[in-house]
A and B are shown apart, each in its own frame.
Chain A
Amino acid sequence: MEQGIPNLVAFAETMEALAAKDKNILAVTSDSRGSGKLVNFGKLYPKQIVEVGIAEQNLVGMSAGLASTGKKVFAVSPSCFLTARSLEQIKNDVCYSDNPVNLIGISAGVSYGALGSTHHSLHDIAVLRAINNIHIIVPADNFETREAIQLAAQVDKPVFIRFGKRPMYHLHNSNTKFELGKGITLKNGNDLAFIATGETVYHAYKASEQLEKEGIKCTVVSMHSIKPFDEQLLLEVADRCQSMITVEEHCINGGLGELCASILMQYGKKLAFKIVGIPDEYTVTGSQVDIFNHYGISEEGLYKVGKTLVEENISV
């Protein structure tokens, strides 16, 4: 598997390409031009970047006003602030008023690592899932990030996209199709399924390689589209796999895992099931890698959980 660039950089490059073709593309930042890798964008398209200062409520409110006039607005800010400080603006000004703002949550999850819990966004998926009229996309690699940004520029609805800042590995080949509301299956095996999202997909994939060496055949799905959600794919995987692990860089409350569990339960699916994510606590101090390792969101951690789950399931 080849290493690519940070999704953050893939986002910024895509923004430059979009802005070159459409003067209505706007980046709106809250002193986050540098953090969003948009310095070059600002130099290339100075009339297409708007700075609001460190004021996230203002960022989202005025982005809604801009979008109401037909501008294709990307409001770019660290996901922790964007989806908490300005939550009421997201709910009322963007979603309820149906202003098609693209909310870009940069350095999401625990990307800021040792900067601590003020800078972590482990709530963003949960809170936005509970708000009507917004698409939620969590891309896993550079390809998914580029596709998500291009899609956001086209859809006439509010969109939230969140990603981190570490270089990501390429997960997909050139034939892969990216669609809103459709997960992408990376491999099909019938013993154990990893339903993962965002930067955790890579770790799930690596764990699956270890498990396969021991004869445990794995499915790995990149569930980039949290809302709308690919229920059909989840149910198909549940029908053919004996065990399932969901993986997310998010609090286990209200995230991907609970979403999958609620669907599986309501459709009467019975299978061994485990949610891997950040528990309901302020995280241990450390880098993103340290935190991933601590909570088992890693090749090793997922391998262990996978092996245990499959073995327990057989013994039952």
Chain B
Amino acid sequence: MLTIELEKKSVAYRKKILYYIKKANAGHTGGSLSCIDILNVLYNNVLNVNPENINSPDRDRYVQSKGHSVEALYVVLADKGFFPVSDLETLCQYKSHYVGHPTRKVNGIEQNTGGLGHGLAISAGMAMSAKMDNKDYRVFTLLGDGELAEGSNWEAAMLISHYKLDNLTAIIDRNTLQITDRTSNVLSNEPLAEKFAAFGWAVKEVDGHDFAVLSTILNKGAFEKGKPNLVIANTTKGKGISYMEDVLKWHHGVPSDEQYELALKELAEKELLLEIK
């Protein structure tokens, strides 16, 4: 998919994320907006997965370790036809399958996540299985930067490089904020690239909102043969809505009616700009 089409899709996705969070009166707004461009590129330009092959043993796998940004995942999966987008009207409602974190009750979701620090080890098992069976599917997982304080990530990081799982790509949505404060104040994870490199990973650092760069890098295959791949995607929490960008309270803030209208207005302006581009 061309970059301009991806850009348009991201505006549409952002509208839907806000609509459903507003409707549910709940959701992880800031993180969904920071990772939506990454999910857009993954599902529209990278992953070999669709409603027809979702049960195929050869499909690519995506595990969302930062499960709280589920609204972004729901919106993209609906767009890809895994379920009708209207299902999301029930988000977080009594008896809905659309829970506030990913579950396999929803078509297209590989694993139940939400507790942080789980996605990397699960992905390791999937990637190792591919190596055992000489399958060429790839495994992607998205982590938050705050999530890296969980020690289980580092257990998995060691294991993945030990077994040379170069069919696995971890993407860090490095929006530099977590629920309490800036990640550097809560528990610094820097120097991030050097840490993963020291753990035996091939590391690339990119702009997590640059569709062309993300498309190129995520389609590249192994950055270095025999090494797992880490993409540090520098993102902005709340990206795309001016008053939410890089503002802590939007971690799981729900916009008021007035704020919602303002957000829609900004997205409409962005849409217009893209039309004439």
Contacts and interface: CB of A to CB of B under 8 A. Distances in A.
Interface of A: 47, 50, 52-53, 55, 57-58, 60-71, 88-89, 92-93, 96-99
B57 interface: yes
Given A92-B114, A92-B115, 15 more contacts: A53-B159, A55-B155, A57-B151, A58-B155, A60-B121, A61-B118, A62-B124, A65-B124, A67-B125, A69-B129, A71-B129, A93-B112, A97-B111, A97-B122, A99-B111
A68 B159 contact: no
B129 A65 contact: yes
A98 B122 CA distance: 13
A69 B104 contact: no
Contact of B125 (A68, A88, A98): A68
Secondary structure at the A interface, as helix, strand, loop or mixed, is helix
Interface residues of B, number: 31
B125 A66 contact: yes
A64 B156 contact: no
18 contacts: A57-B121, A57-B155, A62-B124, A64-B121, A65-B123, A65-B124, A65-B129, A66-B126, A68-B125, A68-B126, A71-B132, A88-B115, A92-B112, A93-B118, A93-B122, A96-B103, A97-B111, A98-B104
Contacts of B114: 92
A96 B115 CA distance: 11
A64 B125 contact: yes
Interface of B: 57, 103-104, 110-115, 117-118, 120-130, 132-133, 151-152, 155-156, 158-159, 162
A92 B113 CA distance: 7
A18 to B, nearest CB: 17
A96 to B, nearest CB: 5
B125 A89 contact: no
A93 B110 CA distance: 11
Contacts of B103: 96
A61 B112 contact: no
A89 B121 contact: yes
Contact of B121 (A61, A67, A98): A61
A51 B78 CA distance: 39
A298 B125 CA distance: 43
A67 B111 CA distance: 12
Nearest to A73: B125
B112 A96 contact: yes
A98 B127 CA distance: 19
B59 to A, nearest CB: 10
Given A62-B159, A70-B57, A47 B121 contact: no
Contacts of A63: 125
Contacts of A65: 111, 121-129
Contacts of B121: 57-58, 60-62, 64-65, 89, 93
Given A66-B126, A68-B125, A69-B129, A61 B156 contact: yes
A58 B156 contact: yes
A64 B152 contact: no
Nearest to B109: A97
Q: Which 3 A-B pairs rank lowest in CB-CB distance, beginning with the nearest?
A: A65-B125, A61-B121, A66-B125
A99 B120 CA distance: 16
Contact of A62 (B115, B128, B130): B128
A68 to B, nearest CB: 6
A303 B209 CA distance: 73
B118 A92 contact: yes
B152 A62 contact: no
A71 B125 CA distance: 10
Given A62-B159, A64-B125, A69 B118 contact: no
